[in-house]
Amino acid sequence: MSSSRAKASKSAAPGRPKDAGKGAAILETAKRLFLSQGYEGVSMDQIAAEAGVSKLTVYSHFGDKETLFAAAAKAYCDQQLPTSLFEPRPDLPLRERLLQVARVFFAMVASPEAVAGQRMLSTPQMAETSVPRMF
């Protein structure tokens, strides 16, 4: 076997390629369940069942519950603060651009979802994990 072929086979992940649709379904389900039931109130089994995938698929896409929670929080932030908000806009005065970013950011952090997330991160159960330090 040539060295380039050996390198390619070592870097390729085992098994089938991940299905992006399943990953998105898992993420949306996790966001909904974490918000409604809290971090400790949700199991990976429950997320898998409600997303219509196997528990192995959930672990294959996200590794563990903390990583899935962090991905759900990041997806929420990315949705609320799209990168387009930070693209150059020379047609708008700097003050207006900064106010625009501030309004969107404030709406995000004051939303019921963000308040629920902050409450979740402040529980004694979460203090024992690395999740609050991520934020």
pLDDT, one tens digit per residue, over 9-68 is: 343 445 567 788 999 999 999 999 998 998 889 999 999 999 999 999 999 999 999 899
Q: Is the pLDDT of residue 6 over 60?
A: no
Work out how many domains the chain is built from and give that number.
Answer: 1
pLDDT tens digits, 115-126: 988 888 888 877
Is 134 part of any domain?
no
Whole domain around residue 36: which residue ranges?
Answer: 16-129
Is 49 part of any domain?
yes
State both tokens at 26: 């898992």
Q: Which residue has the higher pLDDT, 5 or 68?
A: 68
Is 116 part of any domain?
yes
Is 58 part of any domain?
yes
Confidence (pTM): 0.74
CA end-to-end span of the chain, whole Å?
46
Is 115 part of any domain?
yes
134 neighbors 65 (Cβ within 8 angstroms): no
Is 86 part of any domain?
yes
